Amino acid sequence: MQAFLNQLPQQLVNGLTLGAVYALIALGYTMVYGILQLLNFAHGDVYMVGAFVGLGTLNALAPKSGLLLPAWAILPLMLLAAMLVCGALGAVIEWFAYRPLRNAPRIAPLISALGVSFFIQNAMLLLLSASYRTMRTEVLLPIRMGFDIGPARMSAVRALVIAVALLLMVALQLLVRRTRLGRAMRAVAIDREAAAMMGVDVDRVIVATFVIGSALAGAAGVLVGLAFTQVWHFMGFTAGLKGFTAAVVGGIGSIPGAVLGGLLIGLSETLAVGFISPTYKDLIAFVVLILVLLVRPAGLLGRRAQPKV
């Protein structure tokens, strides 16, 4: 019992970091699904591209010889670059691979998404080769830099990840609740045709959703790169799956749900590793998912779409 209590605070810190990242990825999934009922399988690969952009920016601004800019300037630049590139990428993907399929049966954009995912992954493989890259976070934030919360240690990188994720989530919530675009997005999510009749430019809203969702994924990529330092062409696959699970657990289509789902999955995974077994952590995450869906079949905060006849 004592051991359990000793480890718990640290595991909570670990879980929070992971959960924050999953939440960011889940947000992108949920936003797109809410508007298009499309599972964007290419989302994980956009996240991967974001990580690479962050890596490129870091290597450009902090070469082996020294930092060209102070650390507190480089970090936001990395995030900005990744978000811009990923946002643009998301818009391009939507324009080319999903827009022609707006009226097609649901499964067609799914396969198109898979094709895009394959393409992006292998394009990165072709351009950048298969080797892992390491993000040299320690030049910006030394490994031992951090502070203690009781027996737990919160390193500077983790604190940064959690803080930035929180910031982005709050910004998104403000966007959706307080701006015209956000209102338009909510309207399109509820009923696309009615929103169009109300004068909402549905195409623009959809593009905006993709851009924002992809930008969030890009930011998540940079944060993961900073926190866990590995960047490679296949990293989007697992992260995408986890993000997707988180979005579903929280109720797909619901933004606060995605956040909640992300945190839940992150925490349960971490606690499972810490107290049960790392070997079976995926199994336990799956069990959590099943339990949640058994109790609430539409996810924690999801609203069962009433089929209108």
Partner 1 sequence: MSLEKLGEDEWVEQLAARQARRGPLGRILARLEQANPILLGGALLAAAALLPLLTANEYILRVAGNVCLFALLALGLNVVVGYAGLLDLGYVAFYGVGGYSYALLASPQLGLHLPSWLAVPLVVVIAAGAGLLLGLPSLRLSGDYLAIVTLGFAQIFVLLANTMDKVQLPWLAEPLNLTGGPNGITPVDPISLFGLRLTSTSHYFYLLLAALALLLLLLRNLNQSPTGRAWRALREDTLAAQAMGMPVRRLKLLAFVVGAAIAGFSGSIFAAWQTAVFPANFDVTLLITLYAMVVLGGVGSLPGAVAGALVLVVLPELLRGPDTARLLFYGGVAATTVLLARPRWHGLALLASVLVAGFLLRLVATASWPGLLGPPPVPVASGLGALAQSWLIFPLDAKTVGNILFLVVVALLMLASRLRHAGLRFALLVPTLYLLAFVWETRLAVEPSVTRLLFLGAILVLLMTYRPQGIFGKPRVEVM
Partner 2 sequence: MRFRFLLVLGLMLALSACGAGGAATPSATNAPAATTAPAATTAPAATEAPAATTAPAATEAPAATTASTAAASSDGPVRIGILGPFTGGAATVGQEQLNFAKLAVADFNKANGTSYELVEGDTELDPAKAVIVAQRLASDESIYALVGPAGSQEVTAVQPILGPVNLGFISPSATRVDLTEQSFTNFFRVVPRDDVQGATNATFMVDVLKATKVWLIDDQSAYSTGLNDQVELVLKEQGVTATRESITQDDSDFSALVTRIKGDAPEVIFVSWQLAPQAVVFAKQLVEQGVTATLFGADGLFDATNFIEGAAGATDGAYVSFFAPDVSAVAEAKAVVEAYTAQYGNAGPFGAPAYVATMVALEAIQRAEQAGPLSREAVLAELPKTNMESSILGIPITFDAKGDLKDAAFFLFQVKDGKFNLVK
Number of residues that bind partner 2 (CB under 8 A): 46
| Among 10, 88, 119, 207, contact with partner 1 (rule: CB under 8 A) | 119
Tell me the CA distances in angstroms from 281 to 92, 131, 258, 286, one per residue in order. Answer: 36, 27, 21, 9
| Contact window for partner 2 (CB under 8 A) among 24-32, 65-73, 129-137, 191-199 | 129-137
The C-alpha atoms of residue 297 and residue 301 are separated, in whole angstroms, by: 10
Which of partner 2, partner 1, none is residue 309 near (CB under 5 to 8 Å by kind)?
A: partner 1
| Among 2, 65, 131, 279, contact with partner 1 (rule: CB under 8 A) | 279
Q: Between 57 and 270, whose beta carbon lies closer to partner 2?
A: 270
> Nearest approach, Cβ of 285 to partner 1 (angstroms)?
8
Q: Which amino acid is at 176?
A: V
Q: Considering only residues 193 through 222, tell me which ones interact with partner 1, judged by CB under 8 A.
A: 193
The answer to whether 6 contacts partner 2 (rule: CB under 8 A) is yes
* Burial letters 24-47, b for 16+ CB under 10 A, else e: bbbbbbbbbbbbbebbbbbbbbbb
The answer to whether 192 contacts partner 1 (rule: CB under 8 A) is yes
Which of partner 2, partner 1, none is residue 3 near (CB under 5 to 8 Å by kind)?
A: partner 2
| Among 36, 41, 233, 265, contact with partner 2 (rule: CB under 8 A) | 233
| Among 11, 17, 31, 33, contact with partner 1 (rule: CB under 8 A) | 33
Judge contact between 225 and 135, C-beta under 8 A: yes
The C-alpha atoms of residue 115 and residue 119 are separated, in whole angstroms, by: 6
The answer to whether 232 contacts partner 2 (rule: CB under 8 A) is yes
The answer to whether 297 contacts partner 1 (rule: CB under 8 A) is yes
The answer to whether 144 contacts partner 2 (rule: CB under 8 A) is yes
Beta carbons within 10 angstroms of residue 303's beta carbon? 11
Tell me the CA distances in angstroms from 179 to 34, 176, 182, 188, 200, one per residue in order. Answer: 18, 6, 5, 14, 14
The answer to whether 37 contacts partner 2 (rule: CB under 8 A) is no
The C-alpha atoms of residue 267 and residue 288 are separated, in whole angstroms, by: 11
- For the record, the structure tokens of 112 come out as 């198109």
The C-alpha atoms of residue 149 and residue 168 are separated, in whole angstroms, by: 24
Residues that bind partner 2 (CB under 8 A): 3, 6-7, 10-11, 13-15, 17-18, 122, 125, 129-134, 136, 138, 143-144, 146, 153, 155, 224, 227-230, 232-235, 237-238, 269-275, 277-279
